[in-house]
Amino acid sequence: MRILHTSDWHLGRRLHGVDLTDEHRAFLDWLHALVDERDIDVIAIAGDVYDRAIPHPDALGLWEHGIAGLLDRGARVVASSGNHDSFVRLGLNRHHLERAGVHLRTHLSDIRRPVRIGFDGALLPNADPTPGVSIHGIPYLEPSLVWERMDAARRTHAAVLSTAMERIRARRDSHSPDDRLVVLAHAFVAGSTSSESERDVSLGDVGVTPASVFDDADYAALGHLHRPQEISDHVRYSGSPLPFSFGEARFSKEVVEVEFSDSGAIGKPLITSHPVPEFRPVRTLRGTLHDVVSQSADHEEALIAAELTDPQRIPGAVDRLRAAFPGFIRMSWTRLDEPTGTSAAGSASTAVVRTDEEVFADFHRAQRGGPPPPQIRRRFADALARVHAAAGPAEGSV
Dump pLDDT digits (tens) for 323-378: 999 999 999 998 766 555 544 433 333 333 457 777 787 676 655 666 888 888 88
Cα–Cα distance for residue pair 144/170, rounded to 1 Å? 24
pLDDT of residue 306: 96
- Separation of CA 177 from chain center: 30
3-state SS, residue 333: strand
Please tell me the predicted confidence (pLDDT) of residue 376: 86
Q: Look at residue 367 in the predicted model and tell me its pLDDT.
A: 59
Compute the distance between CA of residue 314 and CA of residue 319 in angstroms, rounded to an integer.
11
Q: What is the pLDDT of residue 282?
A: 97
CA–CA separation, 75 and 181 (whole Å): 19
Angle at 156 between CA 80 and CA 214, to 5 degrees: 55
In contact, 300 and 266? CB cutoff 8 Å: no
pLDDT at 365: 67
| DSSP for 274-299, written as a single string | EEPP-SS-EEEEEE-HHHHHTTGGGG
Q: Could you give the CA distance from residue 323 to residue 21 in angstroms, rounded to a whole number?
A: 24
Q: Are 21 and 57 in contact (CB under 8 A)?
A: no
Which listed CATH number (3.30.365.10, 1.10.3720.10, 3.60.21.10, 2.60.40.180) goes with 2-275? 3.60.21.10
Facing residues of 50 across strands?
11
Q: Sort residue 184 into left (φ over 0), alpha (ψ -120 to 50) or beta.
A: beta
pLDDT at 360: 82
What are the Cα distances from residue 236, in Å, to 146, 191, 255? 25, 11, 11
Distance, in Å, from the CA atom of 46 to the CA atom of 37, rounded to the nearest integer, reads 22
Q: Residue 315: what pLDDT?
A: 93
Our measurement of the distance from residue 91's CA atom to the centroid of its chain's CA atoms, rounded to an integer in Å, reads 18
**pLDDT for residue 58:** 97
CATH of domain 282-333: 3.30.160
Q: Which residues contact 280 (CB under 8 A, 6 or more apart)?
A: 22, 23, 301, 302, 303, 327
CA–CA dist 198, 181 (Å, integer): 27
Tell me the domain boundaries of the chain: 2-275, 282-333, 356-390
CA distance 22 to 319: 26
Pairing of strands 208-209, 219-223: unpaired
pLDDT beneath 50, residues of the chain: 202-206, 342-353, 392-398
Per-residue pLDDT at 353: 42
From 341, 383, 302, 368, select the one nearest 18 (Cα to Cα): 302
- Taking the C-alpha atoms of residue 273 and residue 268, their distance in angstroms, rounded to an integer, is 16
